[in-house]
Structure 1
Amino acid sequence: MPDLNELLRWSIANSAPHSSDSSQVAQDESLSLRFNPANPDGQTEQRGQTGLSAFHPSDPGVSPVPPIPQPRSDLTPEILDLILGKPDSVTMKEKMAFAVDEGNDLDERLEALDDLEMLVESIDNANNLAVLKLWEPLLSLLKVQNEEILAATCWIIGTAVQNNIKAQAALHLHTPLTPILSLLSPSHSSQTRARATYALSSSLKHWPLTPTALSSNSDEGYLALSSGVRDLDIGVRRKMAFLVHNLVLLHAEGWDTEVPEDVATHILQGRQGQEDVVEGLYRAGVFKELLNVLGERESTREGKKEGEGEGDKGEMEYDEFAMRALVGAIEMDILTLEEKMRVKEIWEKWGKEGRKERGIEGVDEESMGRLLSL
């Protein structure tokens, strides 16, 4: 189905140009009016007595019948582009072609990628990445040696597949996790690692085959999460903790995701014999690392004056996401008794005020507290 922009282009191209030349109207075209006068006794004339009055287009008050409009020859594709702008599909292909050309200026390539990211904010354009065969050249940019290009590429991937299962399916057909996970290495900049985490998170959340994706290539996905939750950069570390929390939360909700018919078969086949994502997180030591980081942070606070060592907002958010993930694991009876007791100890050390500072209060605090009443 054509989009509104395409329909608008067609309507302009097929509209008749305005003209005041009445000679263009056929002079022999006329309107006829059937007139059935009533007799004095109120009876209408019979059909055979009906009179016809002919009106010529030149008669006063008579509007001529306009000719059928023909496609305009004065509107070239270039002029239409100037009036309406290029279709998004054309622009996307042009931006991608420019971005992958290493002979172009770096700043201009980054600008092209930025423009492409804005275009794929539209779910239709995001889905068109597969139709236009743009996933291959986009993913090829994950192999370049420039950190800015890598970060921009991850940003596009994350935006395109976020909450879009059809785009997720198209992405996972290219087995993208290995190149994305490689960007989480400490050898890459913190910005690249943060953007790679965003791409990873968007590709996994709500994706029914997340456990399979994480366990492929000898658990490389799970292991990346395990190391990511203690990344040196708080921005990356916080995003990783948030992702783990979401994976636990979505597991509890049963992965209630509407699946398009064209990807349903692939998903149903892939889910056969698939490991539970929470079990995979535990097996790979992700919960253990979250617990260790929280314990280390509590140890550094001991012996300090009140208010010292509390960390910034990012650290507080990390604590919140980590605790929510751990309590979720307790609810599913994944952790050992010793691990549960360690979580409870940290919870109690925070106290009511500390939990409030970390965004855990009200109903959430009550429900989580009940789960920790071992």
Structure 2
Amino acid sequence: MDLSDSSEDKAFRAEVRGWLEDNLVGEFAALKGLGGPGKDLEAHDERLEWDRHLAKHGWTCIGWPTEYGGRGLTLMQQVIFHEEYARANAPSRVNHLGEELLGPTLIHFGTDAQKERFLPRIREVSELWCQGYSEPNAGSDLANVATKARLEGDEWVIDGQKVWTSLAQFADWVFVIARTEPGSQRHHGLSFLLVPLEQDGVEIRGIEQLTTGAEFNEVFFTGARTAADLVVGEPGNGWGVAMGLLGFERGVSTLGQQVGFQRELASLVELARANGAIDDPVIKDRLARADAELEVIRLNALRTLSEEQAPQQASIAKLLWATWHRTLGEIAMDVLGTGGLTAGSGYDLDEWQRLFLFTRADTIYGGSDEIQRNILSERVLGLPRESR
């Protein structure tokens, strides 16, 4: 695998870098570094305007085929964009679920009418989406979904509860996995529905976090409705659509994530040098190890993207970066020493305390470490399935 830029890719990298330098100025300059996991409520409306600015200049949906309004960029060019975006410390995007997850899913599984209705609005960032997968008894074990939907005339009627729904309070629509065949079990009888949130049958309640704020939510459906034709794929076959979407979740944008991790590690090394923690040989060794491991994660991600992706590759990638990031939070607390044990007045967390607290969840959300290891043990090593 050749990891060097071609002459064309070098020119594209320069184009991206130049555009970001020219546009992350004025009011947008103040958004640098804002948002992201644990900080998704920061300057949300301002970051939304930035996303729309990107859209006006053709920098959203860059990997989508041109016939759907994308730029049809090569895989390497998409990687370059996300790397340069992260290096510029540009603000976290607010349209990730629509652009990176639902959009590609509709392109692959949706009807022509669904594509025509939703893709332009995702590309323009005029409608925002959230994800209705997890439930109180169906987190990493998604096949345990209990939310139900029944077809009444020309509408689906939905009853149930979703939880850990990121940024539902800002979203216009939610894509929902619901059980549409009475008596069905596990991954059978599920459907993938597109549901408007602005209706009487939907209630959204925020979940307060240790890091403060409530970017996660509970969403309750009580007779909520959506049109009969807003089911993606065939009714009852939503499991395949849901799994296809999760494959898109671990795509090229993860390379930008690695650049963000590099920035965090570099800042932590700088802090360790400033307060003398770097002189502790154990801390110095852990920082050096984190640097080497991060390069391994990057190379593995590039290799995965260059091959036909199998489910186990996504599991390996999730295990690697989630464990690494959680460990970085632990190292940060050791670098801070006793100063990391107390918050400022009014529970004012610093960036490292917030990192430590939020990264405790990295190995849980998006498929827990236990689930990822089960996938690898059962599908790769051929070990017996876990008893249920």
TM-score after normalising by structure 1: 0.28
Bigger Rg, structure 1 or 2? 1
- Work out which structure has the larger RCO, using CA pairs closer than 8 Å and 6 or more positions apart in sequence: 2
Structure number having the greater strand percentage: 2
Which has more helix, going by share of residues? Answer: 1
